[in-house]
Amino acid sequence: MRTASAHSVEPDTSQAARTAYAAVVEALGGPPDWLFVQSTVAHAGEDVRRALVELGAPAAHGSSSCTSVMTEAGVHAGGLALFGVRDPDGAYGVGTAELGADARAAAERAVSAAIDDAGRPGEVPMLVWMTAAPGHEEACIAGIEAVLGPDVPIVGGSAADDEIAGGWYQWTRAATHAEALVVSVLFPSGRVAWAFQSGYTPTPRRGKVTRAEARTLLEIDGAPAATVYDAWTEGALPGVRAGGNVLSESTLFPLGRRVGGIGEVAYYRLAHPAVVRADGGIDSFASFEVGDDLVLMHGTYEALATRPARVAEDALGFSGVPREAVAGALVVMCAGCMLALGGQIDAIAAEIRAALGGAPFIGCFTFGEQGCFVGGENRHGNLMISVTALVRT
């Protein structure tokens, strides 16, 4: 198993795709068996798809990333990046389905199609990689688990644009989509190692969801959610109850829900407050259910900056993988964290590279993160980071 990444900041999409694909093929010694593609909305999704299909790219899985893409060479604003896997002894397949009115059923169709595409009917993959349009990722995970069971790690990141304007896209060799799920199933000849974490810690502020509608949190402990959140943050969000977009102001104060724990140390999935509504509700990028126990989480810019490399280290450490065994890796980082860190992001890419022993990797900046926690729980969250390493045996 070999991997390679390449990128281009050439504004002409066709030229960028040709340059990057040629570099991947040269580094691999032949065409990849699976190709993961990330591009910003500076490149139209259909143009990226068409260019790579014309070049003969097989089993391609593509989507859009917020403002930049990342590889071991750094962070590339407005760019395009490719990550290829050449693995004659493995198998890889890609499937897709429009989300429509039933995202869970769409996910069942997509993962079944991916398994057929891999030529492994009736077999369970080592890993599922997913990319969805933002909005129904929890249902997508449920649909994949309905087909494969809960023991297969599901990892990925939601497609993004630069301004939360619905300009994101997902694509396969067959077509480009705006509101779809793309799923890859990986049957590598080696193995995989992963970690899914955040850079936040719990505070003493806690409450229970008493009213919610999908991704709108309406009441906490019987009071308007915005009122409670305003009190919990002790005025960190001036005028929060007046309504409006609070994404940047709330980045250091997400809402957490406990997923599991290692000994006495709990781990959480996060929801990022996005908009405060006039009725006192809070819209986010994750769903809530009545009865959920919430905890206000808190982060610092320093913690967010150091976390990605630590997640890479933990992905290897939890599985006992030496750095020299890493063939390559896929990195997902919340777009909100990336935007908050600004100019520090280039140093973060270098630290991830060092943690992975210099192995090729690709990174995307997403509007939602999916991953498998250390206890085996597949979840969707916000302001999260995942690192998935492909390991030689």
DSSP SS3 for 145 = helix
User: What number is the average pLDDT over the span 57-84?
Assistant: 97
- Residues 99-124 have pLDDT tens digits of 999 999 999 999 999 999 999 999 99
Q: Which residues pair with 77 in a beta bridge?
A: 68
Per-residue pLDDT at 196: 98
Cα distance between residue 364 and residue 334, in whole Å = 8
Range in 41-50, 97-106, 240-249, 316-325 with the lowest mean pLDDT: 240-249
Exposed (0-12), middle (13-18) or buried (19+): which is 26, by Cβ within 10 Å? Answer: exposed
Rounded mean pLDDT of the chain?
96
Tokens standing for residue 128: 């599922």
User: What number is the average pLDDT over the span 144-168?
Assistant: 97
Tell me: pLDDT of 248 over 90. Answer: no
User: What number is the average pLDDT over the span 226-252?
Assistant: 83
Exposed (0-12), middle (13-18) or buried (19+): which is 184, by Cβ within 10 Å? Answer: buried
Q: What is the full DSSP assignment across 45-111?
A: HHHHHHHHHHTT--SEEEEE-SSEEEETTEEEET-EEEEEEE-TTSEEEEEEEE-TT-HHHHHHHHH
Tell me: pLDDT of 238 over 70. Answer: no
Cα distance between residue 265 and residue 91, in whole Å = 37
Tell me: pLDDT of 242 over 70. Answer: no
Number of Cβ within a 10 Å radius of residue 298 = 18
Per-residue pLDDT at 243: 74
- Residues 176-213 have pLDDT tens digits of 999 999 999 999 999 999 999 999 999 999 999 999 99
Task: Find how far residue 175's CA is from the centre of its chain.
Answer: 21
Q: Among residues 392, 374, 391, 371, which one has the least CA distance to residue 383?
A: 371
- Residues 342-393 have pLDDT tens digits of 889 999 999 999 999 999 999 999 999 999 999 999 999 999 999 999 999 8
Higher pLDDT, 242 or 340: 340
